[in-house]
Amino acid sequence: MAKKKENEVGRKYKWTKENIIFDGIVWILLLVVFVLIAYPFYYIVLASFNEGYDFMRGGVYFFPRKFTLFNYVDLLSQSKWIKAFQVSFFRTITGTLLTVIATCFLSYVLSREELVFGKIYKFLVIFAMYVSGGLIPYYITLRNLHLLNTIWVYIIPSMLNLFFIMVGINFFAAIPVSLIESAKLDGASEFRVLFSIVRPVSTPFIATLSLFSAVNQWNAWLDSAYYVNGEGLRTIAYRMLTEVNQTLGATSTGGSMVTTSTAMTTQASAMVASMLPIMCVYPFLQKYFVQGIMIGAVKE
């Protein structure tokens, strides 16, 4: 039986001239796309391990010409980078946790058909997704809530992402009503149903939501530019943006070659360090990711 199945699988591909040419073209295109995507990242890693002044001379393409760890030592010796990493870690961990909790609670409630005025609430969510009050009213609201120049300006406004809420509503609405009704017949409360019945089957949604929220929090820089004045609350994304702009400005105005080269390689090490957290988390959530992004795509 196993041999028959193996033969059937082997017959699926025909080694014809047309198939070989087509597959060859596909592999070449995929290789080109891979190089275009992977090499810029590799080049940044290369710069982070190369001596700064030597890197500015050019010609470093595949391997470090003068290998050094000074760039990472220099990065860790600057308090502004350390503080930026601390702020980003705090906002990412805390913001992701609170976003997942708030989104799951609100999405589950809005997904229930028995909710009074449920359709009106859903309409308001959809309406708010496309109609914004603007930057100035938003700034005034944050000021009245005393969130400006605090760490919570990064976390509280981002707890309820309307797009995440709509995805959550579609996901929870797809859970069989009979499953929830059976739990209620056994005496389970709404909280017991949510935590004991709904949550275990919501792992793909929670994992995908956590990944999207963490990436958004880690890469955010606009709120750090608009709503925070103190340097101690700057995020790593905003810090890299300002440092790169300063280095480009120094280069265009004829700044010191040694200072500029050291700054560029230190920035490269900061970029590598800032990418590592998301790269370390993604493999653990990847198995849920494909299933999670298909939420609401298939109607049964």
Q: Is the dihedral of CA 240, 243, 247, 253 positive or negative?
A: positive
Read off the pLDDT of residues 67-103 as tens digits, 9 standing for 90 and up: 888 888 888 888 888 898 999 999 999 999 999 999 9
Q: What is the pLDDT of residue 199?
A: 84
Would you list the domain boundaries of the chain?
79-176+203-293
By 3-state DSSP, what share of the chain in percent is helix, strand and coil, each rounded to 5?
75, 0, 25
Q: List the one residue out of 208, 104, 211, 90 whose CA is nearest residue 155.
A: 90
Q: What is the pLDDT of residue 103?
A: 92
CATH 3.90.1170.50 fits 79-176+203-293, yes or no: no
Q: List the one residue out of 190, 198, 195, 170 whose CA is nearest residue 297.
A: 170
Q: What is the pLDDT of residue 275?
A: 85
Q: What is the pLDDT of residue 186?
A: 81
- How far apart CA 83 and CA 234 sit, in angstroms, is 8
Q: What is the pLDDT of residue 13?
A: 67
Q: What is the pLDDT of residue 253?
A: 56
- How far apart CA 80 and CA 71 sit, in angstroms, is 15
Q: What is the pLDDT of residue 254?
A: 53
- How far apart CA 259 and CA 53 sit, in angstroms, is 9
Q: What is the pLDDT of residue 98?
A: 94
Query: Which portions of the chain are predicted below pLDDT 70?
Result: 1-13, 247-263, 288-300
Residues in the chain: 300
Read off the pLDDT of residues 3-34 as tens digits, 9 standing for 90 and up: 554 455 455 667 787 888 888 999 999 999 99
CB within 8 Å of 93: residues ≥ 6 apart: none
Question: Do residues 129 and 74 make contact, with C-beta atoms less than 8 angstroms apart?
Answer: no
Q: What is the pLDDT of residue 296?
A: 52
Q: What is the pLDDT of residue 2?
A: 47
Q: List the one residue out of 221, 225, 227, 238 whose CA is nearest residue 141.
A: 227
